[in-house]
Structure 1
């Protein structure tokens, strides 16, 4: 029995075709709303509000279009070295999404447009209006500025990820698990992992019926943990966002569970033996 067969599947396959379009209905509605609101502002002669709103609407459409370009069939794990805190290590790699530098730069530019437009709107219109008109102008500029800031922050994360030579994803080595994503590089030693679980953020289900949104590696409690003033609090768990994975989350989850429970099998991580353990060769052969 392969490692993938030891754990029951948790996630359904990615949406594709009509199911994907249905899944993105809120994004379609948002893009139409932004484009309509931006067009209305342009007709009224408010360029400072119309231009960024139209840009946000176009950006939403581009993001939706990119979802349709994602291959619904997950890539198999690969053997790829990873640079850890203690040097280069052989690893088994589970791929995640990687954005192009041009898309990341465009996201940064979109955020800058929103921030500049918000500041310009406040500087130009606040002193010209009074009463409710001033309140609505300030509220609109603040909302525009917040949206621009969030987009800019995400764009900078994507730009940092796109500029990295290390492909984003999850790397399993003999000694640790390494996660490289939009939030940077994170790692946890196998000996420090108490359990692996699939869970949603509190109060939310981002992936809906497809399955939980996160694979969480819970750190083992140590004598230094406990939130005292001497140790600065407990160390955070390592959280893998499933929505960013191109690899099959069921296969990654099964591999984590297997190698956590069987330390004696970890030396095969980063070697061809792990692919046989995960049943990759069997699928290629049509078994």
Structure 2
């Protein structure tokens, strides 16, 4: 009798375990491999694709945070599913439709300047549209899983909105001296006051001009307890000029296994911590 009672008590746990693990077995049993052109698209594709897709980045960030080729064209089978931002990006990687019939650009021509693609990939007003395109392409590769990809897209949009809201709660109204290559739009969405605010000066610094002026502007910001940030998308001339300044915050790229939205959230927290001296100064002044 005791054995039967124990077995009966375990039934709810067994049933719950079946509910938890069965979907993952069903989805993961036949994962489809898809190659993606860039690191940022890789992050979006992996989120929307979830457990159904084995996503492989053709390019990924190197140690300096710059996109570098990881998978050569010869190593991509001709029948592979491939996603690129647009036709030009695909061609720049040696990928052509006549050689790869399953090549699917998200756009014929990207609706924004490809040279500023990094800026767009971290823009909360643009990312949902890119994710929507990703849903369309993944569903074309795997039509039977459309409801699953739709749920993933919905989760992406909801969590992106929540992440931006957290950013605004932490950073709204605070100044940031932004030398990053791709975070300006995310910081703007969080309500930051972005400096230096002079496009001519930042363009000159990117060309390697007036680097003494750059150093002076950075020192002035730091004296005022304003965080100075750069990342892998910062022009190389600027990164080189400031690499020995330990007070400049260098934001890292997302880890390959990192959730994109958790990464954005983490950057907000890093900045919030860096703003602690300025917060204290403002509170003392009240």
- Taking structure 1 as the reference length, what is the TM-score of the superposition? 0.23
Using CA pairs under 8 Å that are at least 6 residues apart, name the structure with larger relative contact order, 1 or 2: 1
